[in-house]
Amino acid sequence: MNRIKSIIEQNGIFHAMAAHNPLSAKLAEEAGFNGIWASGFELSAAYGIPDASLLSLTQHLDNTRAMASQVSIPIIADIDTGYGNAINVMHVVSAYEQAGAAAVVMEDKKFPKDTSLLKGGRQELVPIQEFQGKVEAAVAARRSPDFVIIARTEALIAGKGIEEALARADAYVEAGADMILVHSKSKSPDEILGFLDKWSGRVPVVLIPTSYPELTEEKMKRTGKVGVVIYGNHAIRASVKAMQDVFAEIRRDGGIQNADSHVVPVTEIFRLQDVAAMKENEKRYIR
Ligand code: SPV
Ligand code: MG
């Protein structure tokens, strides 16, 4: 069974932390997260560009592969709109499965997309039938039946309401989606709770509670319908804060004399690079 599904069965919920490079993925694994969210938003931010279908497939895929090589927990890859039509989706799903991802999330917005949480963002959905074709294509393209296809509806993000979100979620499950991600930018969890209340529960729901943080894992579990929670951008936001603070301190002090106690020692970086293993191998093999 897919590791995401088996953790949902064991613990009731699977929690994934966003990452934008192999190091942040490693830190999330060490912190005890069940999985990694290979976030398009985080990687776009890491490149200093908007999350608006500007990153190439290759950039995101290479980063996902690099993360998969550094962690042993499952990676849920954000493939945005699938980089085009159903044919593009088949190519993309196959590439992410081969790169070592355990799941993909594909959203029902028009390509090129705009990021979901932006106030006044351009949020246009594709017709339901078109997206059903893309989900069917994703299912047909996977090699292992354990590779999880998550269909994401942006109906609430586009202001279309709970009924439209439910209709789309049902249609995508009909097309073969293993789970449904429903995203909301409402500041209160009520919109999502309204969706969950009416949701049949035929497949688990995936949530990204960035804009409604009061909906904790415990509360999600109580609904009995949430399978996965994704923390969408806390890796990039935490690192930006840490760098801003330390960079400002160094400029203020005219040196690194105080900053040193506010950053990890270099030995911690050596540990994360697994330098010790390299040194062992040097002893053993370099003659
Ligand atoms: C991402 O992290 O890339 C997401 C989540 O898709 S959000 O940015 O909230 O749309
Ligand atoms: Mg995204």
**Are residues 71 and 7 part of one domain?**
yes
Residue from 106, 114, 115, 236 to probe ligand 1 pocket by mutation (most atoms less than 8 Å from CB)? 115
- Asked whether residue 120 falls in the same domain as residue 252, the answer is no
Cα distances from 262 to residues 8, 20, 105, 244, 266, in angstroms, run 37, 22, 37, 12, 12
Among left, alpha and beta (phi > 0; psi -120 to 50; other), residue 67 is alpha
Note whether 255 and 164 are same-domain residues.
no
197 included as an active-site residue: no
**Do 175 and 246 share a domain, yes or no?**
no
User: Could you tell me how many helices (H) and strands (E) the chain has, helices first?
Assistant: 12, 8
- The torsion angles phi and psi of 258, rounded to 5 degrees, stand at -95, -30
pLDDT in tens, the chain (287 residues): 789 999 999 999 999 999 999 999 999 999 999 999 999 999 999 999 999 999 999 999 999 999 999 999 999 999 999 999 999 999 999 999 999 999 999 999 999 999 999 999 999 999 999 999 999 999 999 999 999 999 999 999 999 999 999 999 999 999 999 999 999 999 999 999 999 999 999 999 999 999 999 999 999 999 999 999 999 999 999 999 999 999 999 999 999 999 999 999 999 999 999 999 999 999 999 99
| Claim to verify: residue 56 and residue 174 sit in the same structural domain | yes
Residues 31 and 110 in one domain: yes
For residues 40 and 99, membership in a common domain is answered with: yes
Query: What secondary structure letter does DSSP report for 21?
Result: S
Please choose from 20, 37, 41, 237 the residue to mutate so as to test ligand 1's pocket, defined by most ligand atoms within 8 A of CB.
Answer: 41
Q: Which domain holds residue 278?
A: 240-285
Of ligand 1's atoms, which has the minimum distance to the CA of residue 107? Answer: 6
Q: Which residue has the tokens 């106690």?
A: 261
Whether residues 154 and 266 share a domain: the answer is: no
Percent of the chain beyond pLDDT 90? 99
**Could you tell me if 127 and 91 lie in one domain?**
yes
Structural domain count, the chain: 2
CATH code at 221? 3.20.20.60
Assess whether 72 and 25 both reside in one domain.
yes
> Which regions of the chain does DSSP assign to beta strands (E)?
14-19, 35-38, 75-78, 103-107, 148-153, 179-182, 205-207, 226-231
Report CA-CA distances (Å) from 178 to 72, 150, 199.
22, 6, 15
Per residue in 71-119, pLDDT (tens digit) is 999 999 999 999 999 999 999 999 999 999 999 999 999 999 999 999 9
Q: In terms of domains, do 271 and 162 share one?
A: no
Residues with CB under 6 A from ligand 1: 18, 39-42, 51, 78, 115-117, 208, 210, 232-233
